[in-house]
Chains A and B, each alone.
Chain A
Amino acid sequence: ETGVTQTPRHLVMGMTNKKSLKCEQHLGHNAMYWYKQSAKKPLELMFVYSLEERVENNSVPSRFSPECPNSSHLFLHLHTLQPEDSALYLCASSQHDPSGGASTQYFGPGTRLTVL
């Protein structure tokens, strides 16, 4: 398996369910990201794990909870979501340069989430 993989590819859940999205990168990168892509809106960065530090977008509701057990795996735990959370959730990874250089992000295929 190469690149960035995401499972499941499609998920339908009720507002009271708890589910998790999984991302795995096989590129040896040290940073991983969660993005949300809603219809007619730009991509929104939700969370970043870089060199074991977590950076989060303060506008992301607490019903989204990330977990990064190691540099290759990233989870997004979902609970009591709302219909407006329906979107494509994209995972990405990159090799973060501590000296400040720009780094390319490589994306997974995404998980299409529908909240009923």
Chain B
Amino acid sequence: SQELEQSPQSLIVQEGKNLTINCTSSKTLYGLYWYKQKYGEGLIFLMMLQKGGEEKSHEKITAKLDEKKQQSSLHITASQPSHAGIYLCGADIRNYGQNFVFGPGTRLSVLP
């Protein structure tokens, strides 16, 4: 099984709707990262969470870290077509930053 799981695998929403993507780790998290990727392109860093209960926002995207559950959620408010892409969570599962793993990604489509 993978060290990072994401749900859902894919998501199609109507423009203006809210949505949540989850990332769950089977190992202790030392840092959790969210990235966005357009098809065939590099990853764009969104935000990093390090402490349990930490919550960060970037424009209409909010991410939270539940350290006890080893889980993070990414919430998009009032989605827009520009939010479409693949959302990947990545994590340091050891605290030396060398063992960095990614989830399988969640493909988001936003219908105008």
* Contact surface of A with B, Cβ cutoff 8 Å: 4, 6, 31, 33, 41-43, 45, 48, 50, 55, 88, 90, 92, 94, 96-97, 100-110, 112
Contacts and interface: CB of A to CB of B under 8 A. Distances in A.
Contacts of B30: 100, 102
Interface string B78-112: 00000000001010100111101111110000000
B103 A110 contact: no
Nearest to B33: A104
A90 B35 CA distance: 13
Interface in B48-105: 48, 50, 88, 90, 92, 95-98, 100-105
Nearest to A35: B102
Contacts of A112: 40
Contacts of B42: 4, 6, 90, 107-110
Contacts, number: 64
Interface of B: 2, 4, 30-31, 33, 35, 40-45, 48, 50, 88, 90, 92, 95-98, 100-105
B97 A102 contact: yes
B100 to A, nearest CB: 6
Given A43-B88, A110-B42, A105 B2 contact: no
A50 B40 CA distance: 27
A45 B94 CA distance: 15
Contacts of B100: 33, 45, 105
Contact of A42 (B33, B40, B48, B102): B102
Given A90-B43, A107-B35, 16 more contacts: A4-B42, A33-B100, A41-B104, A42-B102, A42-B104, A42-B105, A88-B40, A90-B42, A96-B97, A102-B30, A102-B48, A104-B33, A105-B45, A107-B42, A110-B40, A110-B42
B101 A45 contact: yes
A101 B97 CA distance: 7
B102 A48 contact: no
Contacts of A102: 30-31, 48, 50, 92, 95, 97
